Amino acid sequence: DTGVSQDPRHKITKRGQNVTFRCDPISEHNRLYWYRQTLGQGPEFLTYFQNEAQLEKSRLLSNRFSAERPKGSFSTLEIQRTEQGDSAMYLCASSYQGGNQPQHFGDGTRLSIL
Amino acid sequence: SQELEQSPQSLIVQEGKNLTINCTSSKTLYGLYWYKQKYGEGLIFLMMLQKGGEEKSHEKITAKLDEKKQQSSLHITASQPSHAGIYLCGAAPDDNYGQNFVFGPGTRLSVLP
């Protein structure tokens, strides 16, 4: 049983650099979600896809953040010109479409900005 | 926008003791989800509640949703060190379950052997 996979697990970069994270969802799931989680807080919704369509992106934190899911399978989250405040855990989740299907999460990518 | 509050913020119990964690919403819940998270890892889905008055159990964990669908509780019976972690409630703000899903801040549980 393959769960949600995220790569890399940890990323350390200098301020101003661009970073890209990858998420491979559970293969049968057509919905994919991105969240950000800071220490001591619950995950904060960023965006989600249904197949290749990005249905909600108004919650992305700034125009430096962008996400893609070009073939409706894996997804990438890119942060351009990183800032200190971008340091956080970035979580990906996937689910079946429709109704109240629970989201299943990967182990996240921890981003540290020097 | 919908907000979720959790209480207590943290909890330390002796192994074998029972405990309850609460999740309160500012608006009616369309679906309430409980997750567990270990430090530095992703969230593990525990249970989902949708109907007012609904109650579900899995092993020693029981979750309930009140009739008004604005509050949920998670009860652990005879706690074990394996129950330690952060418990998070999450909710769909409307019947479009994918959009703008929100989480509470979490309750950190420690179980002393």
What average pLDDT does this structure show over A56-62? 80
Q: Minimal Cα–Cα distance from B65 to chain A, Å?
A: 15
Better pLDDT: A19 or B31: A19
Please tell me which of the candidates B43, B100, B105 has its beta carbon nearest to residue A45: B100
Q: Minimal Cα–Cα distance from B31 to chain A, Å?
A: 7
Question: Could you give the angle at the alpha carbon of B85 between the alpha carbons of A78 and B18, nearest 5°?
Answer: 150
Q: What is the pLDDT of residue B96?
A: 66
Amino acid (one-letter) located at A66 = S
Say if residue B51's pLDDT is above 60. yes
Q: What is the pLDDT of residue A1?
A: 56
Mark yes or no for CB contact A100/B101 under 8 Å. no
CA atoms of A29 and A94, how far apart (whole Å): 6
Q: What is the pLDDT of residue A101?
A: 85
- Closest B-chain CA to A41: B105
Which chain B residues are closer than 8 Å to A99 by Cβ? 97
Per-residue tokens: A109: 């990518």
Q: Minimal Cα–Cα distance from A114 to chain B, Å?
A: 19
Q: What is the pLDDT of residue B103?
A: 94
CA atoms of A4 and B15, how far apart (whole Å): 32
